[in-house]
Amino acid sequence: KRIIQTSDIAKTYHMGSEVVKALKSISIDIYQGEYVAFMGPSGSGKSTLMNIIGCLDTPTSGTYILNDNDVSDLTENELAEIRNKEIGFVFQTFNLLPRNTALENVALPLIYAGYNKYDREEKALSALTSVGLGDRYRHKPNEMSGGQRQRVAIARALVNDPSIILADEPTGNLDSKTSYEIMDLFDELHQKGNTIIMVTHEDDIAHYAHRIVRLRDGLVETDIINTNVTRPE
């Protein structure tokens, strides 16, 4: 099943009299269960494209179909609703609430989804268990290592059972050993059928993905199936 279809997407920013074409024409299909890495030099349009795919922003022209819905032209509120339902975000900086426990951080998206407290805690605990942190649910972010914090963030991304996990430089703040552990976890999620899209500028991280899309100057430069997938032991 096709989850993502962008057709001739462009994004233009206006800064005073200057016009920046961040995306010129992007046409990409991504299917359920794919694990894709976006690469490309700084300024090539990765963040802009991720923002559009993640329904944080809309394209200037072209169409974006997400899970059979045309989301190219939605209002801010409509986008927010789709985002909560369809997308799990993982960030380089984890973006956890510092005063809240792991359980509370993971349960947060479920408040917007309208679950009662009991169901929220049950689902959050189950998500934490699935990332190997079932015994750390009372801990606050500053009582955990970087890798554990990123696991909490991944649990939060998973808790709503989203159509896609979008990860922007998920290993950018982690040492290499911890980075590979997080990539092993992504691999597990991929095996379970999750659709994962990540941005990375690190080749060895990108090689965990099964497809590597390189952007340059707002265009797709190459889009290849990765036959050299890194296999965790």
Site track 42-81 with ligand ADP (rule: CB under 6 A), x = hit: xxxxxxx---------------------------------
CA gap 217, 68 in Å, rounded:
29
Output the smallest distance, CB 172 to ligand ADP, in A: 8
Output the smallest distance, CB 211 to ligand ADP, in A: 18
Q: What is the DSSP letter of 1?
A: -
**Alpha-carbon torsion, ordered 57, 62, 64, 70, to 10 deg:** 100
Which residues face 19 on adjacent strands? 14
Q: Which of 36, 40, 115, 179 binds ligand ADP (CB under 6 A)?
A: 40
Residue (169 or 187) nearer to ligand ADP, CB = 169
**Alpha-carbon torsion, ordered 104, 110, 112, 117, to 10 deg:** -70
Residue (58 or 101) nearer to ligand ADP, CB = 58
Interaction of residue 25 with ligand ADP, rule CB under 6 A:
no
Output the smallest distance, CB 174 to ligand ADP, in A: 16
Output the smallest distance, CB 67 to ligand ADP, in A: 23
Q: Backbone phi, then psi, for 206, in 5-degree steps?
A: -60, -30
What is the DSSP secondary-structure string of 188-209? HHHHTT-EEEEE-S-HHHHTTS
Q: Which two tokens stand for residue 166?
A: 């979008």
Output the smallest distance, CB 185 to ligand ADP, in A: 23
Stretch near ligand ADP under the rule CB under 6 A, chosen from 25-33, 39-47, 119-127, 223-231: 39-47
Site track 5-24 with ligand ADP (rule: CB under 6 A), x = hit: --------x-x----x-x--
The helix, strand and coil proportions of the chain, stated in percent and rounded to the nearest 5, come to: 35, 30, 35
Contact 47, 60 (CB under 8 A): no
Q: Give the binding site for ligand ADP (CB under 6 A).
A: 13, 15, 20, 22, 40, 42-48
